[in-house]
């Protein structure tokens, strides 16, 4: 009965708040109230606290204030008889617990034990949040499971983890049962842990559970345009859009109940494998709040049903587990049975259209040795040729689909794939080969996945795999000819050369009012979708998130304003945006959801602009960190002087062309500069900005404030000095 849960949760909350007060007191005694306190590399402070209250916890003294508020939230423990309503108080106690746990975990970063230690990862940085957050936004990952405690044995832990992985659900692990945690059970079985495999061990302490909720809170701030302090919107955003749940594994003590109560505020239900009381009526969560006594083999399916989630997992007929969650798994050298390419042998992959008569659907052939024919530790050449035929297939789509080969092959457990075209590198693990994985299964994967992903445009798919050097070299020669033509075509693909752009509303699951306009020279601001991707996506799903936008009459070539685009944006923005210019960040710039890779902002006194990428955690010359600026730029509002863009767009010919283009760039973090250096150099040469232009762009090493940037541009004689005033 719920009262038992309420009583446990409230008692657990008292204990947790008390514990936080104790560690805080000790920490203050040691370091003083002014001691800095933070989670590493984040602009969201202690994120649950920040998102709910707007309080920017920076010093230990800030924690005192938070804990005082947490204490006020603690309700009396329900009486045995004539009790007062306890649901509201229990939920409040859950929040008090989460705030206290953030304080506890943050203090660990000062006084230890260090949250990131051994298999444990502690708080996720903003870089991880962006990388992984996008997967939640575009649906690659439908949600996360906060696994608290440990399974009855390590084999069960592996089975549950694999099942969650196969359904693409992130596995966040914290807490322990009888001194053992699920993450330790997985490690014991040799399972690869980490963000790449979606098996994330936050910490063994129960208080590490708060990292999972902090991740959710940041998703709301980062992608949902929720303002810090707007607790109701943050929690409802999570209820409606972040499909997470708690798996309570093993005995549930008071502190675990308290965490469950905290999670229920977010709309995340708890599913337990032990016989604890249940809370079945819905309202705070979409369906049941607590469901218990679920056998291990049913717990994942039950959790998904309780959370109201629909996941369709396609079966690919291969002898190893398969799914996007396995994409990040590496195969280490000592675990490798056979490898291909990676400069150790000739290798290439190549997808191209062919006539209907040339393609026999489902035919998979291996020319050359199979794995059985070679010894462990061997190397083989590899040529993967995918022949496709479809009435709606276009040559333009070939590179789009070819790029998917990397992902599809990586989805198989124990198979590693890197690179594309003739730079590929593939490894099969001993484990995979032992399970019966053959080279021909690469074909099985590609045939199945190509059909399921592009069925609308591909009618027939045939795969030829070569493992003898002659065939591979021949294929390489043929393919390279085609690659050159493709590259040439891509280069000539400009905004002027097409009459249709594409909209992208893929992220409307997270940012309901934003729409991207993707043109050949301006990819989506998340960096993940370019014009060709959108075009193919429209062919695959004509009513999907990518719709053609006819440019129509050009109204202003310099600013990039077209009648058709304006009409589309006006409609798609619910009549809020009347005009949109593609090439300006000052006159009606494009709006942003929250997924942008980079923010560009004017530094008025320098007459130039700065660009900062999400991964950069430090202060920028604008006086704001990325996260603060993101709050201004996101949410589907035009903010003149600020735009959210993809990294690649900085190197585009159309980058703020109307405002002066690349020559305006006066500051960017060094990490960003290095990442896009090659393309930047190419473009600055093309624009005649000189070979040393890149050196004239200040980084955090040269300037941290706007004044310092101004001094820098004057010192290096940056071209911006000669330009007309930007505003």
Partner 1 sequence: MNNNDNNDYSPYKDITVDRAVAEILRESQGRLSTAFDRALAMKCCPIGSGISGICCKNCSMGPCRVREDTVGLCGATLGTITARNLARQIAAGAAAHSDHGRDLAHLLGLAAEGKAPGIEIKDELKLMKFARNLGIEIKDRDVKEIALEASEKALSLFGQQHGEIDLIKIAPPARQEIWRKNNVIPRGVDREIVEIMHRTHAGVDQEPENILSQAVRCALADGWGGSMIATEITDILFNTPEALRAKTNLGMLREDEVNIVIHGHEPTLSEIIVEYSSDNELVEYAKSKGAKGINIVGICCTANEILMRQGIAPIGNFLSQEAAIMTGAIELMVVDIQCIMQALGRLTQNYHTKLVTTSPKCKIPGAIHMEFRDVNGPELAKEIIKMAIDNFSERKGEIHIPDVSSDLVAGFSHEYIRYMLGGRFRESLRPLNDAIIDGRIQGVVGVVGCNNARHCQDKYHNFVARELIKRDYLVVQTGCSAISTAKYGLMVPEALEYAGEGLRSICETVGIPPILHMGSCVDNSRILTVLSDVVEEGGLGDDISDLPVAGIAPEWMSEKALSIGTYVAASGVYTAFSGEPIPVESSPEVKKIMTEGWQKKYGGQLEYIMDIEELLNKVINVIQEKRKALKIDMKKERVLLDMEARRALKDV
CB 589 within 8 A of CB 643: yes
For residue 310, state whether it binds partner 1 (rule: CB under 8 A).
yes
Of 121-129, 231-239, 346-354, 578-586, the segment contacting partner 1 by CB under 8 A is 231-239
Q: How far is the CB of 507 from partner 1 (least distance, A)?
A: 8
For residue 92, state whether it binds partner 1 (rule: CB under 8 A).
yes
d(CA 203, CA 191): 17
For residue 275, state whether it binds partner 1 (rule: CB under 8 A).
no
Cβ proximity to partner 1: between 382 and 507 the closer is 507
Quick note: the x/- pattern for partner 1 over 133-152, rule CB under 8 A, is -----xx--x----------
Helix axes 626-633, 210-223, angle to 10 degrees: 50
Q: SS3 for 571-587, per residue?
A: HHCCCCCCCCCCCCCCC
d(CA 207, CA 256): 9
Q: How distant, in Å, are the alpha carbons of 86, 195, 208, 245, 468 from that of 120?
A: 35, 11, 10, 21, 44
Cβ proximity to partner 1: between 130 and 241 the closer is 241
Q: How distant, in Å, are the alpha carbons of 50, 238, 410 from that of 234?
A: 11, 6, 35
For residue 573, state whether it binds partner 1 (rule: CB under 8 A).
no
The sheet carrying 598-603 orders its strands as: 642-645, 598-603, 608-613, 665-667
Nearest-CA neighbor of 586 among 608, 567, 564, 613?
608
For residue 311, state whether it binds partner 1 (rule: CB under 8 A).
yes
Q: How far is the CB of 282 from partner 1 (least distance, A)?
A: 5
For residue 240, state whether it binds partner 1 (rule: CB under 8 A).
yes
- DSSP reduced 3-state for 74: coil
Of 181-189, 283-291, 359-367, 596-604, the segment contacting partner 1 by CB under 8 A is 283-291
For residue 636, state whether it binds partner 1 (rule: CB under 8 A).
no
Q: Residue 296: count other Cβ atoms within 10 Å of its Cβ.
A: 17
Sign of CA dihedral 719, 721, 724, 727: positive
For residue 508, state whether it binds partner 1 (rule: CB under 8 A).
yes
Task: Write down the H helix ranges in 612-669.
Answer: 626-633
Q: How far is the CB of 673 from partner 1 (least distance, A)?
A: 35
Token look-up 């008692």 returns 11
Among positions 110, 116, 119, 309, the unique one binding partner 1 when judged by CB under 8 A: 309
Read off the tokens for 710. 């101004």
Positions in 284-303 near partner 1 (CB under 8 A): 284, 287, 289
Size of the residue set binding partner 1 (CB under 8 A): 55
Burial class of residue 195, CB neighbours in 10 A (0-12, 13-18, 19+): middle
Q: How far is the CB of 598 from partner 1 (least distance, A)?
A: 25
Give phi and psi for 218, each to the nearest 5. Answer: -70, -35
For residue 312, state whether it binds partner 1 (rule: CB under 8 A).
yes
Quick note: the x/- pattern for partner 1 over 109-138, rule CB under 8 A, is -----------------------------x
Positions in 203-222 near partner 1 (CB under 8 A): none
Among positions 47, 78, 399, 641, the unique one binding partner 1 when judged by CB under 8 A: 78
Of 39-47, 207-215, 507-515, 699-707, the segment contacting partner 1 by CB under 8 A is 507-515
For residue 280, state whether it binds partner 1 (rule: CB under 8 A).
yes
Q: How far is the CB of 132 from partner 1 (least distance, A)?
A: 16
Positions in 537-556 near partner 1 (CB under 8 A): 545
Among positions 179, 283, 295, 725, the unique one binding partner 1 when judged by CB under 8 A: 283
Cβ proximity to partner 1: between 635 and 719 the closer is 635
CB 177 within 8 A of CB 256: no
For residue 265, state whether it binds partner 1 (rule: CB under 8 A).
yes
For residue 727, state whether it binds partner 1 (rule: CB under 8 A).
no
For residue 243, state whether it binds partner 1 (rule: CB under 8 A).
yes
CB 97 within 8 A of CB 209: no
Q: How far is the CB of 213 from partner 1 (least distance, A)?
A: 13
Q: How far out from the chain centre does Cα 680 lie? A: 25
For residue 694, state whether it binds partner 1 (rule: CB under 8 A).
no
For residue 67, state whether it binds partner 1 (rule: CB under 8 A).
no
Q: How distant, in Å, are the alpha carbons of 72, 122, 230, 263, 495 from that of 97?
A: 12, 18, 19, 10, 53
Task: Write down the H helix ranges in 251-292.
Answer: 254-265
* Cis peptide bond upstream of 113, omega within 30: yes
Q: How distant, in Å, are the alpha carbons of 68, 128, 202, 483, 524 from that of 396?
A: 61, 32, 43, 12, 18
Q: How far is the CB of 546 from partner 1 (least distance, A)?
A: 12
Of 78-86, 183-191, 664-672, 683-691, the segment contacting partner 1 by CB under 8 A is 78-86
Of 124-132, 309-317, 339-347, 449-457, the segment contacting partner 1 by CB under 8 A is 309-317
For residue 258, state whether it binds partner 1 (rule: CB under 8 A).
no
Query: What is the rounded radius of gyration, in angstroms, for the C-alpha atoms of the chain?
Result: 27
Positions in 325-384 near partner 1 (CB under 8 A): none
For residue 305, state whether it binds partner 1 (rule: CB under 8 A).
yes
Q: How far is the CB of 407 from partner 1 (least distance, A)?
A: 17
Among positions 58, 195, 302, 308, the unique one binding partner 1 when judged by CB under 8 A: 308
For residue 43, state whether it binds partner 1 (rule: CB under 8 A).
no
- Under the phi-then-psi rule, with left for phi > 0, alpha for psi from -120 to 50, and beta for the rest, what region is 636? left
Q: Residue 357: count other Cβ atoms within 10 Å of its Cβ.
A: 7
Residues that bind partner 1 (CB under 8 A): 1-3, 6, 52, 73, 78, 81-92, 94-95, 138-139, 142, 224, 231-233, 235-237, 240-241, 243, 265, 279-284, 287, 289, 305, 308-312, 505-506, 508-509, 512, 545
């Amino acid at each position: 009965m719920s009262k038992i849960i309420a009583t446990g949760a409230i008692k657990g909350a008292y204990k947790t708040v008390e514990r936080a007060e104790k560690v805080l007191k000790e920490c203050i005694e040691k370091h003083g109230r002014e001691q800095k306190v933070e989670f590493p590399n984040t602009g969201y402070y202690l994120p649950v606290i920040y998102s709910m209250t707007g309080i920017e916890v920076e010093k230990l003294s800030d924690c005192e204030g938070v804990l005082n508020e947490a204490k006020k939230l603690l309700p009396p423990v329900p009486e045995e008889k004539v009790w007062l309503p306890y649901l509201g108080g229990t939920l409040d106690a859950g929040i008090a617990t989460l705030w206290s746990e953030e304080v506890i975990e943050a203090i660990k970063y000062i006084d230890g034990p260090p949250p990131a230690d051994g298999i444990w990862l502690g708080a996720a940085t903003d870089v991880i949040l962006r990388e992984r957050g996008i997967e939640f936004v575009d649906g690659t990952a439908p949600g996360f499971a906060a696994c608290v405690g440990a399974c009855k044995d390590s084999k069960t832990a592996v089975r549950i983890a694999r099942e969650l992985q196969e359904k693409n659900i992130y596995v966040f692990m914290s807490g322990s049962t009888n001194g053992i945690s699920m993450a330790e059970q997985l490690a014991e079985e040799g399972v690869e842990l980490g963000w790449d495999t979606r098996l994330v061990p936050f910490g063994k302490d129960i208080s590490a559970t708060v990292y999972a909720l902090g991740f959710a809170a940041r998703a709301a701030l980062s992608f949902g345009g929720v303002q810090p302090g707007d607790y109701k919107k943050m929690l409802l955003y999570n209820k409606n859009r972040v499909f997470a749940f708690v798996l309570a594994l093993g005995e549930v003590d008071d502190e675990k109940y308290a965490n469950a109560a905290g999670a229920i505020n977010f709309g995340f239900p708890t599913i337990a494998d032990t016989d604890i009381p249940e809370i079945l009526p819905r309202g705070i969560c979409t369906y049941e709040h607590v469901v218990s006594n679920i056998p291990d083999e049913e717990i994942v399916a039950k959790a998904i049903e309780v959370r109201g989630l629909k996941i369709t997992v396609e079966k690919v007929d291969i002898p190893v587990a398969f799914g996007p969650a396995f994409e990040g798994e590496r195969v280490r050298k000592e675990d490798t049975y056979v490898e291909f390419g990676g400069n150790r042998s000739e290798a290439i992959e190549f997808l191209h259209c062919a006539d209907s008569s040339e393609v026999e659907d489902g035919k998979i052939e291996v020319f050359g040795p199979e794995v059985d024919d070679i010894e462990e530790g061997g190397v083989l050449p590899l040529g993967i040729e995918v022949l496709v035929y479809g009435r709606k297939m276009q040559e333009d789509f070939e590179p789009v689909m070819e790029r998917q080969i990397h992902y599809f092959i990586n989805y198989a457990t124990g198979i590693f794939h890197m690179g594309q075209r003739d730079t590929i590198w593939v490894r099969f693990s001993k484990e995979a080969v032992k399970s019966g994985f053959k080279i021909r299964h690469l074909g099985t994967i590609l045939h199945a996945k190509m059909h399921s992903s592009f069925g609308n445009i591909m009618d027939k798919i045939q795969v030829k795999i070569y493992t003898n050097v002659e065939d591979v070299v021949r294929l390489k020669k043929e393919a390279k000819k085609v690659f050159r033509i493709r590259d040439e075509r891509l280069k000539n693909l400009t905004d002027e050369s097409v009459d249709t752009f594409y909209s992208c509303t893929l992220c409307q699951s997270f940012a309901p009012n934003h729409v991207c306009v993707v043109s050949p020279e301006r990819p989506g601001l998340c960096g993940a979708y370019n014009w060709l991707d959108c075009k193919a996506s429209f062919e695959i799903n004509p009513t999907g998130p990518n719709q053609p936008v006819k440019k129509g009459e050009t109204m202003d070539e310099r600013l990039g304003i077209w009648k058709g685009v304006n009409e589309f944006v006006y409609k798609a923005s619910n009549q809020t945006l009347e005009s949109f210019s593609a090439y300006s960040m000052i006159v009606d710039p494009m709006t942003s959801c929250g997924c942008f890779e980079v923010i560009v902002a004017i530094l008025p006194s320098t007459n130039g602009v700065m660009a900062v990428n999400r991964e950069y955690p430090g202060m920028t010359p604008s006086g704001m960190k990325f996260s603060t600026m993101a709050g201004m730029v996101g949410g589907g509002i035009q903010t003149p002087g600020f735009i959210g863009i993809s990294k690649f767009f900085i190197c585009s010919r159309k980058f703020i062309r109307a405002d002066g283009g690349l020559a305006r760039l006066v500051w960017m973090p060094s990490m960003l500069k290095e990442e896009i250096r090659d393309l930047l150099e190419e473009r600055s040469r093309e624009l005649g900005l000189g070979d040393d232009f890149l050196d004239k762009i200040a980084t955090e090493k040269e300037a941290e404030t706007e004044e310092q940037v101004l001094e820098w541009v004057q010192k290096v004689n940056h071209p911006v000095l000669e330009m007309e005033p930007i505003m």
